Structure 1
Amino acid sequence: MTGWLRVLGLPLLLLPAAPPPAHGCPARCECTAVTRAVACPRRRLTAVPDGIPAETRLLELSRNRIRCLNPGDLAALPQLEELDLSDNVIAHVEPGAFDNLPRLRELRLRRNQLKLIPPGVFTRLANLTLLDLSENKLVILLDYTFQDLRSLRRLEVGDNDLVFISRRAFAGLLALEELTLERCNLTALSGESLGHLRGLGALRLRHLAIAALEDQNFRKLPGLLHLEIDNWPLLEEVAAGSLQGLNLTSLSVTHTNITAVPAAALSHQAHLTCLNLSFNPISTVPRGSFRDLVRLRELHLAGALLAVVEPQAFLGLRQIRLLNLSNNQLSTLEECTFHSVNTLETLRVDGNPLACDCRLLWIVQRRKTLNFDGRLPACATPAEVRGDALRDLPDSALFEYFVNAGGNDSYFATLSVRAEPAANRTPGEGHNETQAAARFPLDLTTILVSTAMGCITFLGVVLFCFLLLFVWSRGRGQHKNNFSVEYSFRKVDGPAAAAGQGGARKFNMKMI
């Protein structure tokens, strides 16, 4: 028996030893081995927990009670790529806290209690691409705060108590593409501080108490394509040189107090494709206000208190597709206003006290389609338009328009204009013939209603015919079609006649 046990135990001795168990997961966290993620949200943690696996790539510590980050707290996580510390009470981040995170790409410190970021905090984060410092209590951005973040592409520092940005605060941010500054106490923009952002593509400046744009604010930003200025209640004018040096494709100046279209400032933006000047107290659009914006495709002037749009106000807009004039105070729009915008496809005029002017229905020529996207007063059909309303139309054209009549019914109609042959024209006489046809779109409801009405009519006729046949058949058996006739010969005076006749005789006849 002992020999057999030795033989059976020999293979067991030859088996390799089992590997040691991998590192466990912290008690209050959830670990995912596939994605190498550790999630510890809302666990009332006051510090970074111990026992996090060294191979972790994503660590979420949001909505806890962490107060401070010290050197060594994250030193055991060299593979970390994403770190979320949002919604804590972090008031201090010591220099060196992120020194051992060379692969970190995203760092979120949103909604904490940070008042100051000392130099050296972001040292050795050469691969960081996203940094979110919004909704803290930062008062100042010191020089060289971000100098080691050479790969940073997106920086969020909005919703802070910023009153000052040092001239070299953004030094070193060579790859930054997006910057958002909003809801802070800045009263001026430093052109020198923004000048370090050579690669900046999008700049969003929202809810700021800045009263003016200086000529040097954006001069050193040649790569800036999108500029958004929103909710600057103290801004009353966009200076002529404030946008000089920029090659913007999108510009938004909304919810400010500018009272006129900044035509002088826009004259340098020949590459602009989208312009938004909505919700500003602009009352008039003068002639040629956008003449230099030859590439503009979208123009928004919604809620701008517009009362007058002068003829040829949109002169020069060769590629315009969308024009938004909704929620203004426009009572009339002349057709000559749109003579130069042959490429216009969508016109929004809802929310205006517009009076009916049927000539607006033909402002787009050369077989273009115009969509009145919004409310337009109900107008007469083209067949009811006479006189000189057609004098400016070309000799041969087809126009299509869509009108929403008072928000109730929608009509689609076509207008065909043909010139009379020269052989039939009287010298000195020329006129156009118009043909209008209202085309109502067929939908399922219309088809069902039409079919039901047709069936009811047909069944009613059939029922009526059967009723007539029934009445006729019932009455046929009650009428007699025969009659009888009794005929008596007239008496002849005299005895001969009486003897020859043998007396009076009667004949009875019956006709069937």
Structure 2
Amino acid sequence: MFVESVVRWGLWSILLQVGLGVSAGGCPPRCVCRPEAREVICSGKYLNSVPEGFSNDARRLDLSRNRIKTVGRRQFSGLVQLQELNLSDNLISMIEVEAFLGLKNLRTLQIKNNRLKILPVGVFSGLSSLRFLDLSQNEILVFLDYTFKEMVNLQTLEAEENDLVFISQRAFFGLQNLQELCLDRSNLTSIPTEALSQLQSLTQLRMLRLIISTMPNNAFRRLQRLQSLVISNWPALDNLASNSLIGLNLTSLVISSCNLSAVPYVALRHLVYLHFLDLSYNPITVIQGNLLGDLLRLQELHLAGASLIKIEPGAFRGLSFFRMLNVTSNQLTTLEESAFHSVGNLQVLRLDGNPLACDCRLLWVVRRRFRLNFDGHQPTCSSPDAVRQREFRGFSEKELPRIFTCRPARIMDRRPQEARVEEGTTVLFSCKADGDPFPSITWISSHKNVISPTGRVRVLPNGTLEVRFAQVQDSGTYQCLAGNAAGNDSLTVGLYVKGVPQNRSIPLFMDVSWTEPSNPQAANSSAQMAKPFPFDVKTLIIATTMGFLSFLSSVAICFVFMFFWSQSKGQIKHTATIDFVPRSSMGGGGDGGEGGRFTMKLI
């Protein structure tokens, strides 16, 4: 009895499915039809071609994970109610023109992970209602002009992981409502600026894993509605042209995993609506002060996994809406409060993964350790040794004044420095300082300007001021400022340059260190160093020898030339007879004098 019941139940199930299928207009073999949802599921059935016998009122057709190789012309013309078609994960290498003609209500078309190499113009004819198209993971080499011209309502185009080498200028013509475009892992070597300019409704553009090395000016012109731009994994991209992002009104920008060695301040300055900026995984070493102020609405900055060693004071000055900073996994030893416009607005701070020195510069962070959101990653101390590997939340209030301390900057040698030299002399002024943290050295000129590390008057890496080939106008006082988070110290030095008279030559090189004004003889003797002779004896001997050899060579060439020239003239006389008439002894003329003749032998 039990066996008969099971058989009877199975027969009723089969009859019920068949009945439902027939009532819905038919169901192809090996497919599962769901009339209540108006779905036909033929996924993973090892089909070699598109089957027939679909219900005319089907709204969803899944043909994924089969072995279909070709989609013929008007293959689905009877499915006028179809809204979603999935042809992904097949072996499709050819789609004939007008293959989807008749699918006037289709909204979603997926042809992902097939073997398409080219899309003939007209292959998407009739898809005027399509909203989403996925062409990713194929072998498409080029997008031709007018490939998508009839897809006027398309909003999302996924084209990642193809072999694209070229996108024609009018390839995207007709995509007047496209909002999202993804170009990922292709062989494009330049940004398809002209093609992208057709997409004036585009709001999101993702371009990942490309081999493009430059971003030229006006790279994204006419994309005024673009809000989100993602550029990631371009290992050859090391620079952005100053106007590469001009015309954009972005709210989100990602340029990550590239080769930028500095924050592209000039290229970013136009993005006044930017809220989110991600420059992570670039070899950026410093965030400079007072250069991000044009990004008035910036709220988040991500610079994780970079090479940051310093965030300068005033780095985020002017950013009154700034609320999140992510600088995890860098080489920062500290982050000073002076870098921010207002730390009261800061909500999320990622400092983990940095070799943090727990001193007075980080006291402001530790005092806010229970209010700041560290996103589940507590910062830890790397130095001093007494608190190594301790998390910020583990410190008690009583410990803070004892541990998070600093020693003010102090200039070590405070002896007066003064140099009196002649014009053309090179002068060095020393400024060595000590403190914890190690102080920075800044030199101020006599004109109250900060002296840079480059130029004729410059600051050397060890803090020494160098004045090369001193001029009279360089005379004056210079101030050395040594400072750290705990305090500053200063030292003033003097330089007096005497002009050289017009009839005297200016020495080529002369290094003069500072001298104490209490010993004027030492200063004068240093200033009167011997002028180096411009050439040594060895150089003169070589030059003379080379000149003599050149002269002998020229003479020899002349004699050889004359010899061959005379040989080419045939028989030549070797004697010459000359007639002459001597002048009168009175100098009145030649009359009355007897003429003469003599013969001369030519050698």
Do the two structures share a fold, i.e. TM-score over 0.5? yes
Structure 2 match to 1:86: 88
- Partners in 1 of 2:205 and 2:213 — Cα distance? 18
Whether the aligned pair in 1 keeps the contact of 2:357 and 2:382 (CA below 8 Å) is: no
Q: Are 1:406 and 2:390 matched, yes or no? A: yes
1:76 CA drift (Å): 1.9
| Equivalent residue runs for 1:96-175 within 5 Å | 96-175=98-177
- Partners in 2 of 1:82 and 1:37 — Cα distance? 9
Which AA in structure 1 matches 2:277?
Answer: L
- Partners in 2 of 1:183 and 1:379 — Cα distance? 39
Distance 1:34 1:375, change over 3 A: same
Distance 1:274 1:137, change over 3 A: same
Which AA in structure 2 matches 1:192?
Answer: E
1:414 CA drift (Å): 11
- Pick one of 272, 297, 300 that aligns with 2:299: 297
- Pick one of 311, 314, 320 that aligns with 2:313: 311
- Partners in 2 of 1:147 and 1:161 — Cα distance? 22
1:82 CA drift (Å): 0.4
Structure 1 match to 2:63: 61
Whether the aligned pair in 2 keeps the contact of 1:309 and 1:333 (CA below 8 Å) is: yes
Distance 1:364 1:200, change over 3 A: farther
1:137 CA drift (Å): 0.7
Whether the aligned pair in 2 keeps the contact of 1:342 and 1:365 (CA below 8 Å) is: no
Structure 2 match to 1:353: 355
- Partners in 2 of 1:379 and 1:256 — Cα distance? 29
1:305 CA drift (Å): 0.7
1:171-228 per-residue CA deviation (whole Å, 9 max, x = no partner) reads 0001100000011100001211100000000000000000111112211100000000
- Partners in 1 of 2:119 and 2:326 — Cα distance? 44
- Pick one of 379, 385, 396 that aligns with 1:376: 379
Structure 1 match to 2:266: 264
Distance 1:247 1:47, change over 3 A: same
1:26 CA drift (Å): 1.5
Structure 2 match to 1:42: 44
Distance 1:372 1:157, change over 3 A: closer
Scaled by the length of structure 2, the TM-score of the pair is 0.59
- Pick one of 281, 284, 305 that aligns with 1:282: 284
Which AA in structure 1 matches 2:329?
Answer: N
Whether the aligned pair in 2 keeps the contact of 1:351 and 1:375 (CA below 8 Å) is: no
1:313 CA drift (Å): 1.3
Whether the aligned pair in 2 keeps the contact of 1:278 and 1:304 (CA below 8 Å) is: yes
Q: Are 1:252 and 2:254 matched, yes or no? A: yes
- Partners in 2 of 1:21 and 1:286 — Cα distance? 72
1:46 CA drift (Å): 1.2
SS at match of 1:360: helix
- Partners in 1 of 2:396 and 2:272 — Cα distance? 36
- Partners in 2 of 1:140 and 1:45 — Cα distance? 29
1:81-110 per-residue CA deviation (whole Å, 9 max, x = no partner) reads 100000111111111111111000000000
- Partners in 2 of 1:242 and 1:341 — Cα distance? 32
Distance 1:294 1:172, change over 3 A: same
1:24 CA drift (Å): 2.7
- Partners in 2 of 1:208 and 1:379 — Cα distance? 38
Q: Structure 1: state its 5+ residue gaps.
A: 1-19, 381-402, 416-512
Which protein shows a greater Rg?
1
- Partners in 2 of 1:358 and 1:315 — Cα distance? 21
SS at match of 1:232: coil
Whether the aligned pair in 2 keeps the contact of 1:318 and 1:341 (CA below 8 Å) is: no
1:377 CA drift (Å): 3.7
1:322-367 per-residue CA deviation (whole Å, 9 max, x = no partner) reads 111110001133332235444111211100001102453436999x
Which AA in structure 1 matches 2:216?
Answer: E
1:417-450 per-residue CA deviation (whole Å, 9 max, x = no partner) reads xxxxxxxxxxxxxxxxxxxxxxxxxxxxxxxxxx
275-284 or 342-351: which moved more? 342-351
- Partners in 1 of 2:382 and 2:270 — Cα distance? 40
Whether the aligned pair in 2 keeps the contact of 1:67 and 1:89 (CA below 8 Å) is: yes
- Partners in 1 of 2:65 and 2:154 — Cα distance? 25
- Pick one of 201, 215, 218 that aligns with 2:217: 215
Which AA in structure 1 matches 2:40?
Answer: V
Distance 1:148 1:307, change over 3 A: same
- Partners in 1 of 2:361 and 2:392 — Cα distance? 21
- Partners in 1 of 2:372 and 2:391 — Cα distance? 17
Q: Structure 2: state its 5+ residue gaps.
A: 1-21, 400-603
| Equivalent residue runs for 1:184-203 within 5 Å | 184-203=186-205
Whether the aligned pair in 1 keeps the contact of 2:357 and 2:381 (CA below 8 Å) is: no
Q: In percent, how many aligned pairs have the same letter? A: 48
Whether the aligned pair in 2 keeps the contact of 1:273 and 1:297 (CA below 8 Å) is: yes
Q: Are 1:327 and 2:334 matched, yes or no? A: no
Whether the aligned pair in 1 keeps the contact of 2:196 and 2:220 (CA below 8 Å) is: yes
Distance 1:57 1:332, change over 3 A: same
Whether the aligned pair in 2 keeps the contact of 1:151 and 1:174 (CA below 8 Å) is: yes
Distance 1:404 1:202, change over 3 A: farther
Whether the aligned pair in 1 keeps the contact of 2:181 and 2:204 (CA below 8 Å) is: yes
1:272-315 per-residue CA deviation (whole Å, 9 max, x = no partner) reads 00000110000111112311111111111111110111111111
Whether the aligned pair in 2 keeps the contact of 1:344 and 1:364 (CA below 8 Å) is: no
Distance 1:404 1:201, change over 3 A: farther
Distance 1:379 1:142, change over 3 A: closer
Structure 2 match to 1:469: none
SS at match of 1:59: strand
Structure 1 match to 2:244: 242
- Partners in 2 of 1:47 and 1:412 — Cα distance? 72
Whether the aligned pair in 1 keeps the contact of 2:280 and 2:306 (CA below 8 Å) is: yes
- Partners in 1 of 2:73 and 2:184 — Cα distance? 31
Distance 1:364 1:250, change over 3 A: farther
SS at match of 1:371: coil
- Partners in 1 of 2:392 and 2:221 — Cα distance? 51
Whether the aligned pair in 2 keeps the contact of 1:96 and 1:120 (CA below 8 Å) is: yes
Structure 2 match to 1:177: 179
Distance 1:363 1:237, change over 3 A: same
Whether the aligned pair in 2 keeps the contact of 1:38 and 1:60 (CA below 8 Å) is: yes
1:242 CA drift (Å): 0.4
Which AA in structure 2 matches 1:376?
Answer: P
Which AA in structure 2 matches 1:41?
Answer: S
> How many positions carry a matched residue from both structures?
378
Distance 1:292 1:155, change over 3 A: same
- Partners in 2 of 1:128 and 1:249 — Cα distance? 28
Superposition CA RMSD, Å = 2.9
1:406 CA drift (Å): 2.7
